[in-house]
Structure 1
Amino acid sequence: MQRRIIVTGGPGAGKTALLAALAARGHVHVPETARAIIRDRKSRGLSPRPEPEIYTTDSERDQSFAESVRVHDTLCAWYRRCGYALVAVAPGSVDERCEQVLRHVDL
């Protein structure tokens, strides 16, 4: 049986790096799209987000840390309401986080 997992979290949580590490180890994945959407919006002269007053931390990630935490909490609440079991990945290097994910899903 093929297992599917969702990698989620607020901006700056390390999702892109984790997905790249899993892909480098040969695991099939769907790339995250948030940064591509932000690049596309900016290339068309649009704000990266609907709220242009958000503090910009880099050219693509425009949320403050507090906003990132709020997004994370909102995502977690939504996934729980939908019946998903969430597993927090402890802070660490990309390789350490990748290993945590793989141990959890027994890959």
Structure 2
Amino acid sequence: MTKRIVLIGGPSTGKTTLLNALRAKGHTCLDEVSREVTKAAQEQGVDQLFLTQPLLFSQMLLDKRIEQYKLAPSLNKDLVFIDRGIPDVTAYMDFIGQEYPENFKSACLDYKYDHIFILPPWQDIHTTDQERYESFDEALNIQNELVKTYKAFGYSPIEVPKTSVDERVNFILQNLDICR
């Protein structure tokens, strides 16, 4: 049976770097979908879809994250690592104070992950770019919202220490009892 392991954390906490390191070790990983949605909107002339149409952007993310959730078992792997989960969508909406339909919460309850690892804000690695525009202070507030949201849906996220990428990978694998 496939276990879905989600990496969460505010912007610029090292999730993508960690996912790439897990992938390099032969693990199956599913990438963050928000950059894909943002880039597609930018190609249509919308600089930041989340800022201009947060509900549309979030519905698109929700749909894509549900697709990832459903895809995981078909990959025929014991573990599938995922960059962000379905509850991230409601956490970000709560962060900006945007109301959303009940199906957002229902999805968080209907599609449950096996393990959640949270990467803490880390000012030394925090950067911004075309898709990641949040300041470090905003990243801290997003982090708090993520923790609150995941706990509200019954998760106990395991915090990954601020160490080297290899040490972070080993920490996760050890916590999953599969360190080789």
Amino acid at match of 1:36: E
Q: TM-score, normalising length from structure 2?
A: 0.53
Using CA pairs under 8 Å that are at least 6 residues apart, name the structure with larger relative contact order, 1 or 2: 2
Pair 1:82-2:83 in alignment: no
Alignment TM-score, normalising by the size of structure 1:
0.85
User: 1:19-69 CA distances to partner (integer Å, 9 max, x unpaired)?
Assistant: 111111111222111222222222221122316xxxx92222111011111
Q: Distance in 2 between matches of 1:13 and 1:71?
A: 11
Query: 2:169 maps to what in 1?
Result: 98
CA distance in 2, matches of 1:36, 1:98: 25
Query: 89-98 or 9-18: which moved more?
Result: 89-98
Counterparts of 1:18 and 1:90, CA distance in 2: 12
Note the C-alpha offset of 1:73: 1.2
Q: Which residue of 2 aligns with 1:50?
A: 51
Counterpart-to-counterpart distance in 1, 2:176 and 2:20: 17
Corresponding residue for residue 34 of structure 1 = 34
Q: Helix, strand or coil for the counterpart of 1:61? A: coil
- Please state whether the residue corresponding to 2:168 is helix, strand or coil: helix
SS of structure 2 residue aligned to 1:101: helix
Distance in 2 separating the partners of 1:41 and 1:69: 26
> Unaligned stretches of 5+ in structure 2?
53-126
2:137 is the counterpart of 1:70: no
Higher helix share goes to which structure? 2
SS at match of 1:73: helix
Runs of 4+ in 1 over 4 A off after TM superposition: none
CA distance in 2, matches of 1:93, 1:13: 12
**Which structure 1 segments of 5+ residues have no match?**
none
Q: RMSD over aligned Cα, in angstroms?
A: 1.7
The CA distance in 1 between the partners of 2:38 and 2:138, in whole Å, is 16
Whose strand fraction is larger, Structure 1's or Structure 2's?
Answer: 2
